[in-house]
Amino acid sequence: IRAHSVAVLGAPFSKGQKRRGVEHGPKVIRDAGLIERLSNLDYPVHDFGDLSFPRLEKDEPFMHVPFPRTVGTANKLLSGAVSSAVGAGHTLVMLGGDHSLAIGSVAGHAQQCPDLCLIWVDAHADVNTPLTSPSGNLHGQSVAFMLKELQDKMPDIPGFSWMKPFLSSRDLVYIGLRDVDPGELCILKNLGIQYFSMRDIDRLGIQRVMEVTLDHLLARKQRPIHLSFDIDAFDPSLAPATGTPVNGGLTYREGIYIPEEIHNTGLLSAMDLVEVNPVLGASREAVEATAALAVDVIASSLGQTRLGAHATLEEIPSAKDTEQLRL
């Protein structure tokens, strides 16, 4: 199953949280060979480069939420860019940056595909509101902005007047959760959101998790999928260069099976790969391993298989054709 073309868009942004470095994520993911890898899958690949986000001089915290206007403005800009790329018929790959960028990415995608569904692969649920968030950081509140059911639980945050919630809680599935705040668990339970914690993956196996996920989202009708993949879903032994690592994450094989299965639906329409932070890698090797893993996830989402491509060779060469071998 092939998309017509892929658009890659970098979003070097870090103000959804307080650690510096994650703004360099797009560069290290590209340096790990992303564009070449996608070109090998026989897509036209359009690299739209990196967005440049305005620096706001004055951006006072709102309640205990830092940089609200900076994050809101950046996401408004990103949503327009994502909407244009998806509207032009590309499958979009957004490279973060921190996970607050999913606000603009999924919102822009939803402008073009209002019936989309969202698969959120992450150690964290990112569904705090400013009233439940222990840290105030907006990268832990992205999903709360999207959910219609939380509309009356979200205060009016400066910088976000452009943003209207667009997603129903039944159109979202989480995979990989293992560090969820009390307020978030309350939201998951109250809204009846489908989620698979790491314990659920232990119990069911990743194959069953993906089967139930896709059934939950697609049984009523086939619709565009948005995959939002936080690299910290993986175990920190595999993806050390990230801001909020949590032990006991996805294995390499589990983390690759997820995008493979999403690709096999033929419905992936846009994806985010976020929270790769090269400054937090203990060594160059740690950073390169994390970035290489990000490339593997993206390529698997777009049809790279673990068996390799066999379309290049249609039939077994015959021993009768030995003349060519002697030359």
Per-residue pLDDT of 197-211, as tens digits, reads 999 999 999 999 999
* Residue 208 belongs to some domain of the structure: yes
Find out whether 175 and 223 touch, Cβ atoms under 8 Å.
Answer: no
Active site residue: 24, 90, 99, 226, which one? 99
4: confidence class by pLDDT, cuts 50, 70, 90: confident
Find out whether 217 and 261 touch, Cβ atoms under 8 Å.
Answer: no
* Residue 325 belongs to some domain of the structure: no
Active site residue: 23, 171, 232, 261, which one? 232
Active site residue: 90, 109, 139, 226, which one? 139
Is residue 215 part of the annotated active site? The answer reads no
Report the distance separating Cα 310 and Cα 22, nearest Å: 37
CATH number of the domain to which 180 belongs: 3.40.800.10
Is residue 156 part of the annotated active site? The answer reads no
Q: Which residue segment(s) compose the domain that 78 sits in?
A: 6-309
Find out whether 248 and 234 touch, Cβ atoms under 8 Å.
Answer: no
pTM as predicted = 0.95
Number of domains present in the structure of the chain: 1
Rg of the chain taking only CA atoms, in angstroms? 20
Is residue 64 part of the annotated active site? The answer reads no
Is residue 275 part of the annotated active site? The answer reads yes
Is residue 139 part of the annotated active site? The answer reads yes
269: confidence class by pLDDT, cuts 50, 70, 90: very high
230 is in an annotated binding site: yes
* Residue 323 belongs to some domain of the structure: no
* Residue 118 belongs to some domain of the structure: yes
Is residue 24 part of the annotated active site? The answer reads no
At CA 40, angle to CA 35 and CA 42, rounded to 5?
A: 105
311: confidence class by pLDDT, cuts 50, 70, 90: low
Q: What is the average pLDDT score of the chain?
A: 96
Q: What is the mean pLDDT of residues 234-259?
A: 99
